Amino acid sequence: MTAEGPSAAVARITGRPVTGEHRLSATLAEVTLDGGQSVMAKLGDGPGAVRAEAAGLRWLSEAGTVPVPTVRGHDQRWLVTDRVPPGRPDAAAAARFGTALAALHAAGAPAFGAAPPGGPRDAYIGRAPMRNATGTDWPAWYAEHRVLPYLRRAVDDGSVRVTEAAVVERVAERLPELAGPAEPPARLHGDLWSGNVLWGADGDAWLIDPAAHGGHRETDLAMLQLFGCPHLDQVLGAYQEAAPLAEGWADRVGLHQLFPLLVHAVLFGRGYAEQALAVARAASAG
């Protein structure tokens, strides 16, 4: 934690006077600039976190699909972005979001695990480290760089018992037969739970807090389903209309949820580990 507060950081990074501050948490504040513009100041979770998030927001923005807040500046500790005036989700906004998300994924990435341009190899998903090592084969890459590292850490932390790890390892071994048809790397938000979708006053859904990288598009959609999303049926229906998913995608949701569930097991403990193990058992029985 730095002794510098959000107002001082915003003034320094933007070069503009600050007229107000509203603390939302220990690491997030809404700051008002002279002239009335509001920005968000976020304190990074660890080395490279701010750089990774800023690069991710810019990469997602370059696709010109789902709107993201403009990055106004950052340093090693603070990220300053535009504030999104809040609105309410509705079915029409959800359908537009589904269509735009399909276009975002179609913008592509150089490889599975590719970091956004200017982003670090060692990034974060939430407060958990996430390494953006690249690969050309999704099942092998997903096992090596997304499933097994978090399984090992969960075992080391005691969230997953040593005797339980084998069920996840079996799924990792079977990924080539479970993964469905091969697809090119998609441009992923990477941490697409419902809390990272802001429903704006302009009627659009906005994306915040990415862990952006090249990945499988079904992973973003599976995470969106994991913790619930307003008007999810409309989101998925519009996505399917714009970019139909491969046959059997609904049966693979748990497979793609294994990664975020293991991340949550590492961050939050046994409850999420039990969910991850249940998903792995269902996948291995399929």
Catalytic residues: 191
Angle at CA of residue 172, ends 167 and 174, nearest 5°? 95
Of 108, 152, 109, 110, nearest in space to 128 by CA: 152
Q: How far apart are CA 8 and CA 265, in angstroms?
A: 36
For the chain, state the CA radius of gyration.
19
C-alpha to C-alpha distances, 88 to 68, 163, 197, 199, 221, nearest whole angstrom: 17, 46, 11, 6, 21
C-alpha to C-alpha distances, 58 to 54, 64, 71, 138, 275, nearest whole angstrom: 6, 10, 7, 24, 33
Helix (H) or strand (E) holding 123: strand 122-125
Which residues is 100 bridged to in the sheet?
Answer: none
Residue with tokens 């359908």: 95
Of 88, 6, 92, 1, nearest in space to 42 by CA: 6
**If you write DSSP's letter for every residue of 5-47 in order, what string do you get?**
-HHHHHHHHH-S-EEEEEE-SSSEEEEEETTS-EEEEEE-SST
Q: Are 264 and 191 in contact (CB under 8 A)?
A: no
Residue with tokens 């070069």: 15
Q: Are 115 and 256 in contact (CB under 8 A)?
A: no
Segments in 163-246 forming alpha helices (H)? 165-178, 217-226, 232-242
